[in-house]
Amino acid sequence: MEQEPETLKKVCFGSTQERKQFPYHCAPDRLGNELAPIRGSPQCGPGCYNNEEVTNMIYLQNRKPMSKKGYTLGARTAKRFSSNEKMETPSPAEYQSFWAKERTFSASYAPFSIKDVRFPGKMTDITQNPSPGTYEHYTEQGRKVSWPGRFGSPDWSSVPSLQKRTLRSELSTDKEFRKNRNRVAYLSLYYS
């Protein structure tokens, strides 16, 4: 008799569902909380802590208030050698202080473009850089495309148009003609 592969074995009384087992899943009770699985406790969100770690005897012993009265028989609760908890860190002005120091470079080893002038020389020629008021900018204002008209309505007899045809469909040449006619009318504003 052939042996069935692992994936096809029926595990839960006739179903093929995966059984939740300990290393990857845990029960939502006290035992499951104490034995946290590999992926962490599913009930605790990020930033939560295990309550047992802060209520056990070792935690309380390490944070017990100490007496500083001396080393006599009941008063000796202070540590013999005090731990120096002062952090040895530099002041804010000392962080990367080498960037504030002036650096000098020899001519052959200077970084790219460091010896260039920061601001190039100003142009003093008036023809290249005219000052305000030295040039004329008079242009016609409110120009419109000239379109022949009579008493507010267009004069279609003087507008260039195609010849009438019996076939009413529009050809590509008709479209090009209209486009060209409108372009000529617009360009007549500037080139007349």
Rounded average pLDDT over 13-38: 68
CA atoms within 13 A on the CB side of 128: 4
Rounded average pLDDT over 148-152: 70
The most confident of the ranges 28-37, 69-78, 98-107 is 98-107
Q: 126 in a domain, yes or no?
A: no
Q: 25 in a domain, yes or no?
A: yes
* Higher pLDDT among residues 185 and 50, named by residue: 185
Residue with the two structure tokens 């029926």? 10
In whole angstroms, give the CA distance from residue 46 to residue 43: 10
Tokens of 113: 């473009």
Query: What is the domain extent for residue 42?
Result: 8-63
Q: 57 in a domain, yes or no?
A: yes
Q: 102 in a domain, yes or no?
A: no
Q: 33 in a domain, yes or no?
A: yes
Q: 119 in a domain, yes or no?
A: no
Q: Are 24 and 39 in contact (CB under 8 A)?
A: yes
Q: 189 in a domain, yes or no?
A: no
* pLDDT > 80? residue 176: yes
Look over the chain and give the mean of its residue pLDDT values, rounded to a whole number.
69
The confidence band for 1, taking pLDDT boundaries of 50, 70 and 90, is: very low
In whole angstroms, give the CA distance from residue 85 to residue 87: 6
Nearest to 181 by CA among 153, 161, 155, 151: 161
- The number of domains in the chain is 1
Rounded average pLDDT over 165-177: 75
Q: 82 in a domain, yes or no?
A: no
Nearby residues of 146 by Cβ (< 8 Å), 6 or more positions away: 185, 188
In whole angstroms, give the CA distance from residue 79 to residue 77: 7
